[in-house]
Chains A and B, each alone.
Chain A
Amino acid sequence: MSNILTPILLASALTSSTLTAQIAIEAETLYPMTGDLKPIKNGVVLCGASGKIEKVGTAAEVAIPIGYQRIKAKVAMPGIIDAHATVGLSGILNSDKHDQEQLEKSAPIQPELRAIDAYNGRDPLVKWVRDLGITTVHTGHAPGALVSGQTMILKTNVTSITDAGKDTLRQFAMVAATLGSDGFAGGDKAPGSRAKSLAMLRENLLKTQIHARKLADKDQDKRPEPDLRMDALVQVLEKKIPLLVSAHRHHDIAAALRLQKEFGFKLVLDGASEAYFLLDEIKAAGVPILIHPTMARPYSERENMTFTLAAKLHAAKIPFAFQSGYEGYVPKTRVVHFEAALAVAYGLPHERALAGCTSAAAKLLGIEDRVGSLKPGMDADLALFDGDPLETVTHCTGVVIEGKVVSTEVR
Chain B
Amino acid sequence: MFSSLRYVAPLLALATVAVLAIGQEKDSEAKVRAYVGARIIPVTAPEIPDGVMIVKDGIITAVGTREEVAIPADAEVLNLKGKVLFPGLICTHSHIGKVQGGDSSSPIQPEVRVLDSIDVLDSTFEKARAGGITMVNIMSGSGHLLSGQTSYLKLRNGNTVEDLAVRNEDGSMAGGIKMANGTNSIKGTGGFPGTRGKSAALVREQFIKAQRYREKLAQGGDQAPERDLAMEALVEVLEGKRVVHHHTHRHDDIMTVLRLKKEFGFKVVLHHVSEAWKVADEIAEAEVPCSIILLDSPGGKLEAIDIEWRNGAELEKRGVLTAFHTDDPINDSRWFLRSAGLAVRAGMSRGKALAAVTISAAEMMDLAEKTGSLTEGKQADFLILNGDPLSVYTRVLATHVEGQKVFDLADPADKLWAEGGFGAGHQRKASGCCFTK
Given known pairs A345-B395, A391-B391, A393-B344, the reply for A304 and B423 (CB within 8 Å) is yes
Q: Contact string, B328-339, partner A, CB cutoff 8 A, digits 1/0?
A: 011010010010
Q: Contact string, A194-225, partner B, CB cutoff 8 A, digits 1/0?
A: 00000000000000000000000000000000
Structural contact, A330 and B345, CB atoms closer than 8 A:
no
**Does B305 sit within 8 A of A, measured CB to CB?**
yes
Across the interface, which residues of A come within 8 angstroms of B295, CB to CB?
A: 330-331
**Does A306 sit within 8 A of B, measured CB to CB?**
yes
Closest chain B CB from A326 CB (angstroms)? 12
Residue of A nearest to B330 (CB): A330
Q: Contact string, A323-337, partner B, CB cutoff 8 A, digits 1/0?
A: 000010111111100
**Does B1 sit within 8 A of A, measured CB to CB?**
no
Across the interface, which residues of B come within 8 angstroms of A40, CB to CB?
A: none
Residue of B nearest to A129 (CB): B297
Q: How far is the CA of A154 from the CA of B392 in the complex (A)?
A: 29
Q: How far is the CA of A332 from the CA of B394 in the complex (A)?
A: 26
Across the interface, which residues of A come within 8 angstroms of B432, CB to CB?
A: none
Q: How far is the CA of A334 from the CA of B338 in the complex (A)?
A: 14
Closest chain B CB from A331 CB (angstroms)? 4
**Does B46 sit within 8 A of A, measured CB to CB?**
no
Structural contact, B391 and A327, CB atoms closer than 8 A:
no
Structural contact, A335 and B305, CB atoms closer than 8 A:
no
Across the interface, which residues of B come within 8 angstroms of A295, CB to CB?
A: 296, 332, 335
**Does B302 sit within 8 A of A, measured CB to CB?**
yes
Q: How far is the CA of A299 from the CA of B229 in the complex (A)?
A: 35
Across the interface, which residues of A come within 8 angstroms of B82, CB to CB?
A: none
Closest chain B CB from A328 CB (angstroms)? 8
Q: How far is the CA of A330 from the CA of B298 in the complex (A)?
A: 8
Q: How far is the CA of A331 from the CA of B331 in the complex (A)?
A: 9
Closest chain A CB from B207 CB (angstroms)? 30
Residue of A nearest to B386 (CB): A345
**Does A322 sit within 8 A of B, measured CB to CB?**
no
Residue of A nearest to B393 (CB): A345
Structural contact, B297 and A390, CB atoms closer than 8 A:
no
B-contacting residues, A377-411, CB 8 Å? 390-395
Stretch at the interface among A88-96, A143-151, A231-239: A88-96
**Does A338 sit within 8 A of B, measured CB to CB?**
yes
A-contacting residues, B283-311, CB 8 Å? 295-302, 304-305
Structural contact, B345 and A334, CB atoms closer than 8 A:
no
Structural contact, B305 and A345, CB atoms closer than 8 A:
no
Structural contact, A306 and B393, CB atoms closer than 8 A:
no
Partner of A331, one of B297, B302, B332: B297
Closest chain B CB from A120 CB (angstroms)? 13
Q: How far is the CA of A274 from the CA of B424 in the complex (A)?
A: 12
Stretch at the interface among B106-114, B355-363, B414-422: B414-422
Structural contact, A305 and B420, CB atoms closer than 8 A:
yes
Closest chain A CB from B396 CB (angstroms)? 10
Residue of A nearest to B327 (CB): A330
**Does B425 sit within 8 A of A, measured CB to CB?**
yes
Structural contact, B424 and A393, CB atoms closer than 8 A:
no
Partner of A304, one of B342, B345, B420: B420
Across the interface, which residues of B come within 8 angstroms of A338, CB to CB?
A: 296
| Chain B residue total in the interface (Cβ 8 A) | 33
**Does A320 sit within 8 A of B, measured CB to CB?**
no
B-contacting residues, A216-271, CB 8 Å? none
**Does A286 sit within 8 A of B, measured CB to CB?**
no
Residue of B nearest to A328 (CB): B300
Residue of B nearest to A333 (CB): B297
Q: How far is the CA of A42 from the CA of B253 in the complex (A)?
A: 51
Across the interface, which residues of B come within 8 angstroms of A128, CB to CB?
A: 297-298
Structural contact, A344 and B299, CB atoms closer than 8 A:
no
Across the interface, which residues of A come within 8 angstroms of B297, CB to CB?
A: 92, 125, 128-129, 330-335
Structural contact, B338 and A392, CB atoms closer than 8 A:
yes
Closest chain A CB from B250 CB (angstroms)? 14
Closest chain B CB from A329 CB (angstroms)? 5
Across the interface, which residues of B come within 8 angstroms of A95, CB to CB?
A: 302
Across the interface, which residues of B come within 8 angstroms of A298, CB to CB?
A: 332, 420, 424-425
**Does A307 sit within 8 A of B, measured CB to CB?**
yes
Q: How far is the CA of A94 from the CA of B304 in the complex (A)?
A: 10
Q: Contact string, A37-68, partner B, CB cutoff 8 A, digits 1/0?
A: 00000000000000000000000000000000
Q: How far is the CA of A125 from the CA of B305 in the complex (A)?
A: 10
Partner of B425, one of A303, A329, A341: A303
Closest chain B CB from A285 CB (angstroms)? 22
**Does B225 sit within 8 A of A, measured CB to CB?**
no
**Does A308 sit within 8 A of B, measured CB to CB?**
yes
Closest chain B CB from A271 CB (angstroms)? 14
Structural contact, A94 and B392, CB atoms closer than 8 A:
no
**Does A297 sit within 8 A of B, measured CB to CB?**
yes
Q: How far is the CA of A304 from the CA of B426 in the complex (A)?
A: 9
Closest chain A CB from B129 CB (angstroms)? 15
Given known pairs A298-B332, A391-B392, A393-B344, the reply for A331 and B296 (CB within 8 Å) is yes
Q: How far is the CA of A250 from the CA of B370 in the complex (A)?
A: 46
Across the interface, which residues of B come within 8 angstroms of A299, CB to CB?
A: 329, 425
Q: How far is the CA of A334 from the CA of B423 in the complex (A)?
A: 25
Closest chain A CB from B341 CB (angstroms)? 3
Partner of B299, one of A124, A129, A297, A345: A124
Across the interface, which residues of A come within 8 angstroms of B304, CB to CB?
A: 330
Across the interface, which residues of A come within 8 angstroms of B296, CB to CB?
A: 295, 331, 333-335, 338
Across the interface, which residues of B come within 8 angstroms of A392, CB to CB?
A: 338, 341-342, 344-345, 390-392
Closest chain A CB from B210 CB (angstroms)? 33
Given known pairs A298-B332, A331-B295, A392-B392, the reply for A94 and B421 (CB within 8 Å) is no
**Does A27 sit within 8 A of B, measured CB to CB?**
no
Residue of A nearest to B304 (CB): A330
Q: How far is the CA of A277 from the CA of B420 in the complex (A)?
A: 14
Residue of A nearest to B272 (CB): A330
**Does A342 sit within 8 A of B, measured CB to CB?**
yes
Structural contact, B300 and A94, CB atoms closer than 8 A:
yes
Across the interface, which residues of B come within 8 angstroms of A92, CB to CB?
A: 297-300, 305
Partner of B394, one of A331, A345, A395: A345
Give me 15 other A-B pairs in contact (C-beta within 8 A), A342-B392, A346-B419 excluded: A91-B299, A92-B297, A92-B300, A94-B299, A125-B298, A330-B295, A330-B299, A331-B297, A333-B297, A334-B297, A345-B392, A391-B391, A391-B393, A392-B391, A393-B341
**Residues of A participating in the B interface, judged by any CB pair closer than 8 Å:** 91-95, 124-125, 128-129, 274, 276-277, 295, 297-299, 303-308, 327, 329-335, 338, 341-342, 344-346, 390-395
Q: What are the 10 tightest A-B residue pairs by CB atom distance, in nearest-first order?
A: A303-B425, A392-B341, A92-B299, A330-B300, A332-B300, A306-B420, A331-B297, A331-B296, A332-B299, A331-B295
Could you pull out 12 A-B pairs where Cβ atoms are within 8 angstroms? A92-B297, A93-B299, A93-B302, A276-B421, A297-B332, A299-B329, A304-B422, A329-B330, A332-B300, A333-B296, A392-B341, A392-B392
